[in-house]
Amino acid sequence: MEDLKQIIASIAEQECTRIASRVARDLRRVTQGMQSGDGSGLANLWDEVCVQVQDQESVIWDHYLDIMREMIEKRVEPLNEALEKAIWLQTEAGFDWLYSRPGAANRWSSASPRRAHPDRA
């Protein structure tokens, strides 16, 4: 079982890294609607987010979080169910689902984590 968990975690990590890279690229393409002014030296939303993470969040940080969530959802939505499950099983909710079911730690169930996840119901 430990080998299986490691394989799933590795697949999930690779996919999350790919998604994060694509979202960062998407953020670099956004050059309008930023809080920083023209003289700030910040070229795109990625630069602005990086500065705010390192220094201080602006008053519109929640708006930036919404933009990033939408970009992530756009990248996660087309994933096949196996990749989505692999990622979800790395979360606390996925771990709890896996280990709260009798025998679930020793075999795959036909029940879908997608259906078990409250945000995916």
Chain centroid to CA 85: 13
Radius of gyration from C-alpha coordinates of the chain:
18
Separation CA 65–CA 71 (nearest Å): 10
Domain that holds residue 11: 2-120
CB 99 within 8 A of CB 105: yes
Query: For residue 28, which amino acid is it?
Result: R
Query: Who wins on pLDDT, 51 or 101?
Result: 51
Number of domains in the chain: 1
Predicted pLDDT of residue 22? 98
Q: What is the pLDDT of residues 110-120, one digit of tens each?
A: 444 444 444 44
Q: What is the pLDDT of residues 5-55, one digit of tens each?
A: 899 999 999 999 999 999 999 999 999 888 887 778 899 999 999 999 999
Separation CA 8–CA 11 (nearest Å): 5
Tell me which residue has tokens 């979360």.
Answer: 91
Predicted pLDDT of residue 97? 85
